[in-house]
Amino acid sequence: MMEQKGFTLWFTGLPCSGKSTVADIIAERLKTKGLKIERLDGDVVRQMLTRDLGFSKEDRDKNIERVTFVAKLLSRNGVGVLASFVSPYRETRDMIRNETTNFVEVYVNCPVEECAKRDVKGMYAKAYAGEIKDFTGVDDPYEPPESAEIIINTLEESKEESAEKVIGKLQGMGLISA
What pTM value is reported for the model? 0.92
Rounded (5°) CA angle 132-56-122 = 25
Walk across the sheet containing 103-109 and list its strands: 37-41, 80-84, 7-12, 103-109, 150-153
pLDDT above 50 for 1? no
Q: What is the mean pLDDT of the chain?
A: 91
Interior/surface letters 104-115, b for 16+ CB within 10 angstroms, e for the rest = bbbbbbbebeeb
Question: In the chain, where are the structural domains located?
Answer: 7-170
* 64 — pLDDT class (breaks 50, 70, 90): confident
Q: Return the active site residues.
A: 87
SS3 category, 150: strand
Q: What does the pLDDT look like over 20-52, one tens digit per residue?
A: 999 999 999 999 999 999 999 877 777 776 677
Under 8 Å between Cβ of 89 and 142: no
Homologous superfamily of 7-170: P-loop containing nucleotide triphosphate hydrolases (3.40.50.300)
